[in-house]
Amino acid sequence: MSALGFKNSLGIHPQVMQLHAARAEILANNLANADTPHFKARDFDFQAVLEGESKRSMEMNVTSERHLRGSIQTDSELMFRNPYQPAIDGNTVDSQVEQTLYTENALRYNASFQFLNGSFKGLKGAIKGQ
């Protein structure tokens, strides 16, 4: 299929935008809970989730056929943030870190939007034959 096909021309950007929107929600929740005792800040590894590597599984090494094969599956993509300055009330939200990430996330969302918009403009031009 040519690069002008609807699906091909949009590339990865629709998925990226969806992921950024999901991440915005997580980071907003971190920021909203900046003063909640015992709250642990969460986030996910954007690259890994995008590449679909989020479900990691570890298997035990076996040296004999009769050994048990144990495996651990981590089904959670959401990880806990390591705080730079842990608070005495057990809260691990660093507002400035979260705010930076939130802004960066919004910018990346806008960047993806820009690319997507460009693709649509190109497609429109192709339809009109200009």
Partner 1 sequence: MSLTNVFNIAGTGMTAQSVRLNTTASNIANAETVSSSVEETYKARKPWFSVLQKQWKDVDGLNRKLDVRSQVGDGVEIKGIVESDAPLKKRFEPNHPMADEEGYVLYPNVNIVEEMTDMMSSSRSYQMNVEVMKTAKQMLQRTLTLGQ
If residue 71 lies in a helix (H) or strand (E), which one and from where to where?
Answer: strand 71-74
Shortest distance (Å) from residue 105 CB to partner 1: 9
Q: Which residues contact 53 (CB under 8 A, 6 or more apart)?
A: none
Of the pair 8, 76, the CB lying nearest partner 1 is at 76
Of the pair 18, 60, the CB lying nearest partner 1 is at 18
Q: Does 31 participate in binding partner 1 (rule CB under 8 A)?
A: yes
Which x/- pattern over 66-95 shows residues binding partner 1 (rule: CB under 8 A)? ---------xxxx----------------x
CA 56, 57, 61, 62 dihedral sign is negative
